[in-house]
Structure formats: C-alpha cells, structure tokens
Copies of this chain bind each other. A is one copy, B any other.
Amino acid sequence: MAPIVSEEYKEKKKRHILDSSLKAFGEKGFQLATIDDIVAESGLSKGAIYNYFKSKEDIYLQLMQRKTEENIAGLKERFRKKETAEEKLRQFFKNYLEIKLSPDWQRMIGVHLEFWIHSGRDEELKRVMTARYEEVYRTLLMEVLQEGIDQLEFRPDADPAIISSLVWGTIDGTCLHYSVIGNDYPFREQMKTLEEMVFMYVRKGERE
C-alpha cells in the first residue's frame, strides 16, 4: 500500500515544526521554551509534533543540524565560484558583512550559541560538535589559507590551523556580543576590521 501522505508532505511539516521551534527557542531559550510554545507558534497539535520528532531534545538536535548544514552548504557554494585564495577569503568575510541583522537573526544566533555551550556538557554531543567543527568549519578556512600559502599569495610561515581557529573564534564571539547587545553593536565595522587584520597578518604584514 502506498503511504497515505507523501514524503514531501512530511518533509514540509518537519520544516514547519523546526521553523516554529526556532522562534520559540529564540524567544526564551531551549530550556524555557515549552512544547506548548511550539504548539502555539506552529498551529499544530502536540500529538502532531510528536509524530515527527521523538522529543524536545530531538527537535533541538535536528534544528541545529539543519542550520549547520545550510550554513556549510552556503559557505562552500560561495567558495566554489572563486579562483584565488584571496578572492575566497574576501568572499568569506563578505558573507558576514551581507547578513541581514534582523531581530530574527539575532535570536537565532542566541539559540546556536546556547546549543554550542549545551553540547559542551554532554560527552556524546560534544564529540559530534567538535568533530564537525574540526572537519568542516576549521578545515574550510584552513584549506583556503593553505592554498594561499601554496600559491605564494600568503606568507609561508603563517599557521593556517591557528588562524582559521582564531577567525572562527572571533566570528562566534562577535555574533555572541551582537546577539546580546543588538543593533548598537558595531557588527559590520568589526567584521571589516577583522578582515583587514587577517589580510595584513597573512600578507607579510603589509598595509592594505
């Protein structure tokens, strides 16, 4: 017998639940947001939600996973079109300059960072998150930096591992501050300055 509802239908529902959950989590944080908040936000019933996810934690996990995947896919997509390491690195910072700094985004950042801290307290989750960070995020930037060094665009004694780690740290820290302070925070100026600093650092300390 054919399934009563199509896979697309189910996928759409899941996505809807995840979107609603993100709003709820953004408003109050994961712990304080209740299933009833998600019910209210989504317009679905409690039972419906539990048909698609096995627990509140499961929603959280899947939500974070998807956002991370979208994020990574976006980054990779943008890198693909560029030729040189410099172009790629410029594109990297450009992404952050182009982010629409809406309250929604601000809240989403809060959820992300909260999840990141949360995962530090759960061995299993920590392993997954650390691995992903190492394999995907840091590697992505490292490869660009290494490419720059190999192509003699960047100075040979720069350490791609540390620089990429530092850049990711700065980005997360900047997002963290923005997520608390909001529009009074000089998010873009800071990203611009970070870009300058990094380029100055990798290009033998030459002025831009």
Chain A interface residues (CB < 8 Å from chain B) = 1, 27-29, 31-32, 45, 106, 110, 113-114, 116-121, 126, 129-130, 133, 159, 161-163, 165-166, 168-177, 179-182, 184-186, 189-190, 193-194, 196-198, 200-201, 204-208
Contacts and interface: CB of A to CB of B under 8 A. Distances in A.
Nearest to A111: B117
Which of the listed residues A114, A179, A198, A205 has the most CB atoms from chain B within 10 Å of its own CB? A205
B133 A193 contact: no
A206 to B, nearest CB: 6
A119 B110 CA distance: 10
Most buried by B among A181, A185, A194: A181
Contact of A165 (B106, B133, B176, B177): B177
A11 B170 CA distance: 38
B29 A180 contact: no
Given A110-B120, A126-B181, A170-B170, 18 more contacts: A28-B121, A29-B121, A31-B31, A114-B117, A116-B180, A120-B182, A130-B181, A130-B184, A133-B181, A165-B186, A166-B170, A169-B173, A169-B176, A171-B173, A173-B173, A197-B198, A197-B201, A205-B205
Contacts of A28: 121
Contacts of A116: 176, 180
B179 A117 contact: yes
A57 to B, nearest CB: 12
A193 B163 contact: yes
A92 to B, nearest CB: 16
